[in-house]
Amino acid sequence: MFDIGGSLAAARKGQGLTPSDAERLTCLRGKYIAALEGDDFDALPGRTYARAFLRSYADALGLDADSFVAEFDERYPEPEEDDEPAPVIQVRRRRRMHPRLVFALTVLAALVGIAVWGSTGNREALTPVAAPPAAQGAVVLHTHSHARAAVHKAAPVQHPQLVISATGGECWLLVRRGGAGGAVLFQGILAQGKTLRFSPRVWVRFGAPWNVKVHRGTTVPAGLQTTAPVNLSL
């Protein structure tokens, strides 16, 4: 056996730590640090918390936490639970119904069933006949026609290709999808006599716009008649 609290206090002081330092190191409240170092385990919230706090404090000081916990368990063994007597369950006996009462209830249930069946039969006789299947078929065909129209409207619109041809000399190009922040589709020099084609809308940086001809279908964009690099959305 060894002194749990004295060993903790000696280890703390040997490392030059104050109680406040130990509190910050372990995240335990100061009164719990003092209780551990004073072997005042009754001041802790309970046996489970005492073991946990002891292990955390010993680990933080670099000590063998298992030895401290084992010493604690030997001094303060876990109390045995007293066997409690099993609860007595009282079962009430069901009273048997008198045969005459059973017979009367059976006859009453039969009369109620006959009355309900009679009223239901009258209602079924008055129920109108459903519409013929042919009318329902017409509604289905009408729905199908709307579905075909919706599919037709959803068809993507095809744009003419953008054609860039280097006719007067080479031209450095940077082509991005959609806009200036879009994915790069092409970056480099378009040699004289070469052509590039793009289907989606693009943003293009022309290094030598005077050397290229550009059109999308029959549309020729303006802005290429310049002697400086230019950016165009096409």
- 136 has pLDDT over 60: no
The pTM of the full predicted model, rounded to 2 decimals, is 0.36
Q: What percent of the chain has pLDDT over 70?
A: 74
Task: Output the pLDDT for position 135.
Answer: 45
* Category of 223 on φ-ψ map: left (φ > 0), alpha (ψ -120 to 50) or beta: left
Dig out the tokens for 59 from the structure. 């680990």
- 125 has pLDDT over 50: no
Q: How far apart are CA 94 and CA 22, in angstroms?
A: 69
Compute the half-sphere exposure of residue 171: CA atoms within 13 Å on the CB side of its CA: 31
Q: Average the pLDDT over each of 18-27, 38-47, 53-62, 120-129 and give the range with the smallest value.
A: 120-129
Residue spans of the domains in the chain: they are 4-75, 162-233
178-200 average pLDDT score:
93
Banded pLDDT at 94 (limits 50, 70, 90): low
Task: Output the pLDDT for position 137.
Answer: 47
Banded pLDDT at 197 (limits 50, 70, 90): very high
For residue 40, give Cα distances in angstroms to 31, 34, 166, 223, 227: 10, 8, 91, 88, 90
Please name the fold of domain 4-75. 434 Repressor (Amino-terminal Domain) (1.10.260)
Task: Quickly count: other Cβ atoms within 10 Å of residue 149's Cβ.
Answer: 10
Cα 16 to chain centroid distance, Å, stands at 48
